[in-house]
């Protein structure tokens, strides 16, 4: 099944996600932000959590700051509570998402709402252009039923958060890198061609089963980095597959980063540390 796509993309390389931990010892798999793939402009990091062992996730991610980029949290299974310095609080549940533009700075925490069972989800970091790094923080929160879910062909189920395809438009809007973010579920042998803007950096991360991406086998917990083109053909393996397809416009700007701060110069990076230490990040207004 295609969306009238020509000039299909090939796979430039396939990488196995690296086992690591973050936060208060949360076990995860990192596919962007590793020694093998430090970044893929504008993507800074892609983490996957997939475990039913509560000891590997229960402590969550205690309070920490961000400045100069965006975080995308997408829950596949389970629930995660978030709180921040602006007074926002809520729970991301299975199928829901949060697109947070940290901008000039925000302090937040994320902690599992559950004490057992499967926790499966993703966090993606996307750089902001230099001109937008100090904009006011904002959120786009999506409940599971707000994500565009549809089936363009037999055995194909798509959940579209951002971008346009098959006459559907994802609910995420106003993002400077014009992203595409779609969760693709394929039955065994089912095939779909996902349209992608030419010139966008693009990846496919397989997190359940095995897939064929542009005629190349991609196993579970592997990332396929795509060459340029206008779309990619995906096929479910013997037991079917589920994967994220993510694309965004490269910024081609200087990146100076350390930990949770991503700026465009060493001076701006040092200012971020000073502002955080002096309590100058966004805080809830006094009532």
- For residue range 111-130, list pLDDT tens digits in order: 888 778 988 999 999 999 99
pLDDT of 285 higher than 50: no
The verdict on whether residue 64 carries a ligand-binding annotation is: yes
Q: What is the mean pLDDT of residues 10-37?
A: 92
Minimum mean pLDDT range among 107-121, 164-178, 258-272: 107-121
The verdict on whether residue 221 carries a ligand-binding annotation is: no
pLDDT of residue 134: 94
pLDDT of residue 2: 45
CB neighbourhood size of 189 (10 A): 12
CATH match for 11-278 among 2.60.120.10, 1.20.1260.10, 3.40.50.740, 3.30.590.10: 2.60.120.10
Q: What is the mean pLDDT of residues 265-283?
A: 88
- b (16+ CB within 10 A) / e for 144-182: eebbbeeebeebbbbbbbbbebbeeebebeebbbebbbb
pLDDT of 244 higher than 70: yes
Q: Domain boundaries in the chain?
A: 11-278
Spatial CA neighbour of 170 closest among 39, 258, 72: 72
Minimum mean pLDDT range among 17-31, 116-130, 147-161: 17-31
Q: How confident is the model at residue 180 (pLDDT cuts 50, 70, 90)?
A: very high
pLDDT of residue 22: 81
Q: How confident is the model at residue 210 (pLDDT cuts 50, 70, 90)?
A: very high
| Token pair in block for residue 141 | 């929160």
pLDDT of residue 286: 38
The verdict on whether residue 222 carries a ligand-binding annotation is: no
Task: Say if residue 42 is preceded by a cis peptide, omega within 30 of 0.
Answer: yes
pLDDT of 75 higher than 50: yes
User: Residue 229: left (phi > 0), alpha (psi -120 to 50), or beta?
Assistant: left
pLDDT of residue 60: 78
pLDDT of residue 64: 85
pLDDT of 3 higher than 60: no
pLDDT of residue 135: 94
Q: How far apart are CA 5 and CA 275, in angstroms?
A: 47
Q: What is the mean pLDDT of residues 279-283?
A: 71
Q: What is the mean pLDDT of residues 22-34?
A: 88
Spatial CA neighbour of 198 closest among 40, 11, 5, 15: 5
pLDDT of 1 higher than 60: no
Q: How confident is the model at residue 283 (pLDDT cuts 50, 70, 90)?
A: low
Q: How confident is the model at residue 59 (pLDDT cuts 50, 70, 90)?
A: confident
The verdict on whether residue 108 carries a ligand-binding annotation is: yes
| Averaged pLDDT of the chain | 92
Q: What is the mean pLDDT of residues 76-89?
A: 83
């Amino acid at each position: 099944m295609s969306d009238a796509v020509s000039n299909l993309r090939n796979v430039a390389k396939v990488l196995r996600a690296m086992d690591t931990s973050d936060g208060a010892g949360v076990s995860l798999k990192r596919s962007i932000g590793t020694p093998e793939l430090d970044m893929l402009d504008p993507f800074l990091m892609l983490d996957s959590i997939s475990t039913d062992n509560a000891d590997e996730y229960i402590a969550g991610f205690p309070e920490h700051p961000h400045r100069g980029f965006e975080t995308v949290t997408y829950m596949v299974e389970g629930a995660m509570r978030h709180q921040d310095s602006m007074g926002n609080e809520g729970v991301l549940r299975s199928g829901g998402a949060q697109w947070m533009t940290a901008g000039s700075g925000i302090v937040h925490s994320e902690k599992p709402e559950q004490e057992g069972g499967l926790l499966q989800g993703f966090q993606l970091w996307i750089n902001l252009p230099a001109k937008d790094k100090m904009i006011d923080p904002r959120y786009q929160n999506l409940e599971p039923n707000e994500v565009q879910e549809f089936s363009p062909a037999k055995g194909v189920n798509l959940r579209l958060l951002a971008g346009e395809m098959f006459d559907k438009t994802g609910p995420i809007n106003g993002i400077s890198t014009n992203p595409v973010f779609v969760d693709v579920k394929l039955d065994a042998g089912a095939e779909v061609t996902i349209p992608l803007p030419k010139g966008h950096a693009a990846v496919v991360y397989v997190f359940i089963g095995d897939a064929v991406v542009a005629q190349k086998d991609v196993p579970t917990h592997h990332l396929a980095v795509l060459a340029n083109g206008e779309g990619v053909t995906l096929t479910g393996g013997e037991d079917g597959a589920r994967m994220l397809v993510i694309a965004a416009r490269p910024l081609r700007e200087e990146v100076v980063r350390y930990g949770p701060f991503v700026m465009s110069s060493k001076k701006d990076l040092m200012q971020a540390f000073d502002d955080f230490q002096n309590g100058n990040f966004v805080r809830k207004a006094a009532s």
